[in-house]
Amino acid sequence: MADKNNSGKPFPFIMQELDEENIKQCISEGYDINARIDKEGCTMLIEAAEAGKTEIVRLLIKYGADVNIAAKKEKKTALLLACWEGHEETVKVLLENNADIHHKKSGDKTSLMYAAHSGNTGIVKLLIEKGAKLHAVNDEGQNALMYAADSDKKLEAFKIIVEAGADINLRDNEGKPVISWAAAHGSPEIMRYLIGKGARLDIIDSFGYNLLDYAAMPEKNRKAVMELAKNAGVKKMPLCFGFCIDLKCPEYGHPVMVNGPLRKIKCPSCVSVIDLNESFWRDIFSGTEDDDSGASTIFGAFNINLKFRKMNPVCPECNTGLDASAITPGTEGVIGCSKCNNKIPYFSPPSWLEEYQIKDKQPVQVIGALERDDSVTEEETVDKTAAIYCVSCGATLQFNEETPRNAICNFCGAVQYLTDAAWLSLHPVKKSIWWFIRLE
């Protein structure tokens, strides 16, 4: 008779000791074949599948192991781990016993992604035949092709997924397409295959990088992937720096967004005009000498939060890369985003900005800035007024952009704090954006 005290307990054998007799003995004594056996929350079946112990997997399933039970911590199943490790025979057994090919590990990683990672063509074929979703992506927007693109050893598995209908031009959440994944990992044969299949070579990601930028990254096969990109006509992007700047108002400490090359800017809270003098911009541009991709805080005359990086411009709405090479220096206009159709302005740098150098090069174009050097002056010429009723006497209280939030009624002299709705009607909230300077 089974010992009821063993209910819920894992087998008292390590996986290597399991055979049919031991399994039958443990079941007769009331041990739980689906009990968790480690801190990850795996079961004996999950562990056996990960190790590729096909016969043990077969026996465990025969005696009642749940083929689709998932580890508690990351939702890993036996099938997922067998695919990751490339254990084809184990995968066959699991699929024969109705393993769920659509189950996702935490992060929305699928069995096909894991099979693509292993590069096992047999597993890839099995999953596709069973109806694996070719267009599934994980939380980072990556599909199965991106999991296979990191090595030419996985070329055949990569081809199978492409021929089955996967999107070769898919971009991940950072706008990076499949071919850039191959370039960044030094996989020239996968790149060559994608070029032959007509993969788009003009995609610029959310960091402003194109295929040539990624081809310059890998330690292995860098020369080969660079030559492929150049021979395919991919051009080096113009040298641009992106800036994202905000500061604290010297008067009251309110945040002020510097969304362009400005020498004067209004604080949206106290409407005081802040002079962004020569030392301000000298500090901003000198920061680029230390780190092309970092974020820093500059303390001096201003408390400034500065983010900057060497990057091609991107759309402020959807972060899709923009082709700065399509803009002629010295011109003014807008460039359209290829994804969301947003219109991004560009203009020549103001004369004072031309006096500065960034990385020993002169600014020749400003792209994506929402404000220009004359924006404060232009705003002051526009008569914008609004009105509310005085909370004390009921008289009409008119106010404009210059009125402080502690407004004074002209009739009864009562002081009242302008509500957010009233204030924002003339002082809309601004958010900090990335804007860019193209260099010669």
Contact indicator for 241, 358 with CB cutoff of 8 Å: yes
Element (H, E) at 435: strand 435-439
What gap in Å lies between CA 204 and CA 7, rounded to an integer? 58
pLDDT at 77 (0 to 100): 96
pLDDT at 46 (0 to 100): 95
Q: Is the pTM of this model over 0.85?
A: no
**In the chain, domain spans:** 4-182, 240-376+430-439, 382-426
CA angle, residues 104, 106, 112, in degrees to nearest 5: 35
What gap in Å lies between CA 356 and CA 439, rounded to an integer? 11
What gap in Å lies between CA 24 and CA 39, rounded to an integer? 26
State the residue for tokens 């905000």: 246
The neighbouring-strand residues paired with 53 are: none
What gap in Å lies between CA 162 and CA 144, rounded to an integer? 10
Superfamily of domain 4-182: Ankyrin repeat-containing domain (1.25.40.20)
Joined tokens for residue 137: 């992506």
Contact indicator for 201, 232 with CB cutoff of 8 Å: yes
Question: Parallel, antiparallel, or unpaired for β 240-248 and 303-310?
Answer: antiparallel
pLDDT at 4 (0 to 100): 63
Helix 111-118 vs helix 78-85: angle between axes, to the nearest 10 degrees? Answer: 20
Distances (CA, A) of 334 to 324, 328, 343, 379: 11, 11, 6, 21
pLDDT in tens, the chain (440 residues): 345 677 788 888 888 888 899 889 988 888 999 999 888 899 999 999 999 999 999 999 999 999 999 998 889 999 999 999 999 999 999 999 999 999 999 889 999 999 999 999 999 999 999 999 999 999 999 999 999 999 999 999 999 999 999 999 999 999 999 999 999 999 999 999 999 999 999 998 888 889 999 999 999 999 999 999 999 999 988 989 999 988 888 877 778 899 999 999 888 777 788 888 888 888 888 765 555 544 555 545 578 888 888 888 999 888 888 888 889 988 999 999 988 899 999 999 998 988 888 888 899 999 999 888 765 544 444 457 877 778 888 788 887 777 777 788 888 888 877 776 666 666 665 778 899 999 98
Neighbours of 40 (CB within 10 A): 13
Q: What is the DSSP letter of 109?
A: B
For residue 377, give the amino acid letter. T
Neighbours of 89 (CB within 10 A): 15
312 contact partners, CB below 8 Å, separation of at least 6: 204, 208, 209, 210, 237, 238, 240, 321, 322, 323, 324, 436
The neighbouring-strand residues paired with 13 are: none
Contact indicator for 438, 237 with CB cutoff of 8 Å: no
pLDDT at 48 (0 to 100): 94
What gap in Å lies between CA 21 and CA 1, rounded to an integer? 17
Contact indicator for 250, 269 with CB cutoff of 8 Å: no
Q: What is the largest CA-CA distance in the chain?
A: 98
Q: What is the DSSP letter of 248?
A: E
